[in-house]
Amino acid sequence: MVTRLGLVVHPRRELTGALDAIRRWSDENGVHVVQVPAHGQDRSVAEPGDPATCDLIVALGGDGTTLAALRTGAAAGVPVMGVACGSLGALTAVTADDIDDALERVGAGDWMPRALPALAVDSGGAATLTGVNDLVVVRQGASQVSADVRVDGELFIRFAGDGLVVATPLGSSAYTLAAGGPVLAPGGSGLVLTPLAPHGGCCPPLVAAGESRLTIALEPGHGGARIELDGQIQDRVEPHAPRTLAVTLRERHATLVALGGEEPLLAGLRRRQVIIDSPRMLARDAREAMSRNPVSG
């Protein structure tokens, strides 16, 4: 049962219809609506509220907004429902047009929890940082960074370059894919490490087991480096100040609302043309289409 609903909203997208639907449903069902803190919340649509007092958090926007909501929801132990105000992504369960039905179903308990793992990143005794998608360590200035990467204590690679990306199975279809790393198919588990623009050598992407521990000994060079989690800068590493990061996978870190019938991951990547067939295959399809439907002269 939902008695208090938290909102996380996209800073710029048109949300009038979705917000009207939420307010109408909340009025009819006696649900108190608040806006919970999340990264990028510069737009106010409701009174501020504590996420820990909410039964559900609704993210209005796209995958980025849902990712920000998941960080808030995970810290408070509250499930998140992603609503696509635009095209459907990997994290959004419904479009804004279907929000009425989705809220009715969630209010009636007719939904399934989709548990998402997260990266747990420890560095020099500081508080553990978490990321649902990925950890990015990237050069801050003009110089390269160097890294010594070990898997469960065994040396994998030493390289110099722009940096590296470590991703969860979910995050394997984001930045690390763009950098040439592999996509983990649904049901796969593990950590994906992808070097960014390594300078020479042979530095292939790596898929480590979900129980593995990656240790990254970073030398930031004279330009320094920055550490990002889910696209948010978490820390900056000063020039010539070595840092060691230990990365593990934390299972069942956040909960995403699933309503059934969600688009499969690979189908979604193809629909959004993140994955595109080779030109030879597309040309063959075009020839076959023309042979079936010849243009009359």
122 in any annotated domain: no
Domain that holds residue 8: 4-111+259-279
* Domain co-membership, 148 together with 102: no
266 in any annotated domain: yes
| pLDDT at residue 81, rounded to an integer | 97
Say which of 20, 42, 55, 63 is annotated catalytic.
63
| pLDDT at residue 142, rounded to an integer | 86
| pLDDT at residue 294, rounded to an integer | 79
Q: Is residue 296 pLDDT above 70, yes or no?
A: no
What's the CATH code of the domain at 30? 3.40.50.10330
What is the per-residue pLDDT across 139-170, written as a single tens digit (0 to 9) for each? 998 889 999 999 999 999 999 999 999 999 99
Q: What is the mean pLDDT of residues 263-275?
A: 91
Pick from 56-60, 83-87, 216-220: least confident: 83-87
* Domain co-membership, 151 together with 229: yes
What residues are paired with 173 via a beta bridge?
A: none
User: Residue 63 catalytic?
Assistant: yes
* Domain co-membership, 147 together with 89: no
Q: Is residue 71 pLDDT above 90, yes or no?
A: yes
| pLDDT at residue 93, rounded to an integer | 85
* Domain co-membership, 177 together with 136: yes
125 in any annotated domain: no
* Domain co-membership, 241 together with 138: yes
295 in any annotated domain: no
What's the CATH code of the domain at 136? 2.60.200.30
* Domain co-membership, 192 together with 212: yes
* Domain co-membership, 12 together with 104: yes
Q: What is the mean pLDDT of residues 204-225?
A: 96
* Domain co-membership, 235 together with 270: no
Q: Is the dihedral of CA 49, 3, 55, 186 positive or negative?
A: negative
- Separation of alpha carbons 103 and 214, rounded Å: 40
Q: What is the mean pLDDT of residues 48-72?
A: 96
The pTM score is 0.90
124 in any annotated domain: no
CA angle, 33 then 87 then 55, to 5°: 25
Residues 54 and 4 sit within 8 Å (Cβ to Cβ): yes
User: SS3 letters for the chain?
Assistant: CCCEEEEEECCCCCCHHHHHHHHHHHHHHCCEEEECCCCCCCCCCCCECCHHHCCEEEEEECHHHHHHHHHHHHHHCCCEEEEECCCCCCCEEEEHHHHHHHHHHHHCCCCEEEEEEEEEEEECCCCCEEECCEEEEEECCCCCEEEEEEECCEEEEEEEECEEEEECCCHHHCHHHHCCCCCCCCCCCCEEEEEECCCCCCCCCEEECCCCCEEEEEECHHHCEEEEECCEEEEEECCCCCEEEEEEEEEEEEEEEECCCCCCHHHHHHHCCCCCCCHHHHHHHHHHHHHHCCCCC
46 in any annotated domain: yes
C-alpha closest to that of 81 among 64, 106, 104? 106
Q: Based on C-alpha coordinates, what's the Rg of the chain?
A: 22
Domain count, the chain: 2
* Domain co-membership, 144 together with 106: no
Q: Is residue 191 pLDDT above 70, yes or no?
A: yes
287 in any annotated domain: no
